[in-house]
């Protein structure tokens, strides 16, 4: 399982009809344009893999997904920034002992708990 594949499956689940969350992929760093002539600036280095919003509050939710790589210092700084500004940050790791479907369900549940807990604190 690649991290990219995991992200795609999780994003589909979080954007499913009837859910109160909407997420999209967030590329971090600098990239070349398709023709290679100009730089494209993505999100800041360390930004989460997926970013989204949750109803009914409109709160920002950042989701960092890991298959094998460690949680970097830049990603930890991003987590602190998001939380300091009142957003939600979730770090989820792929568990190779579980199926893809089980991993996706676990991430969706973790996001839902984080949103519920955030709303309860307001």
The structure tokens listed for 49 are 């893999």
The structure tokens listed for 122 are 């307001």
The structure tokens listed for 121 are 């604190």
- The burial class, CB within 10 Å (0-12 / 13-18 / 19+), for 116 is exposed
Question: CATH fold of 3-117, please?
Answer: Trna Endonuclease; Chain: A, domain 1 (3.40.1350)
Q: Cα separation of 39 and 31, whole Å?
A: 6
Q: What is the pLDDT of residue 20?
A: 96
Q: What is the pLDDT of residue 122?
A: 66
Average pLDDT, the chain: 93
Q: pLDDT tens-digit profile of 77-117?
A: 999 999 999 999 999 999 999 999 999 999 999 999 999 99
Report percent pLDDT > 70 for the chain.
98
Q: CA of 115: how far to CAs of 38, 67, 78, in Å?
A: 38, 23, 18
What pTM was estimated for this model as a whole? Answer: 0.90
């Amino acid at each position: 399982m690649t991290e990219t594949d995991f992200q795609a499956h999780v994003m589909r689940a979080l954007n499913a009809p009837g859910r109160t969350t909407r997420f999209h992929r967030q590329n971090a760093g600098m990239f070349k344009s398709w023709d290679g002539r100009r730089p494209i600036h993505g999100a800041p280095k360390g930004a989460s893999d997926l970013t989204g919003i949750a109803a009914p509050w409109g709160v920002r939710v950042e989701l960092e997904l890991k298959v094998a790589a460690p949680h970097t210092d830049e990603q930890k700084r991003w987590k602190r920034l998001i939380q300091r500004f009142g957003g939600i940050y979730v770090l989820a790791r792929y568990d190779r002992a579980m199926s893809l479907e089980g991993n996706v369900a676990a991430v969706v549940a973790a996001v839902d708990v984080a949103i519920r807990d955030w709303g309860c604190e307001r």
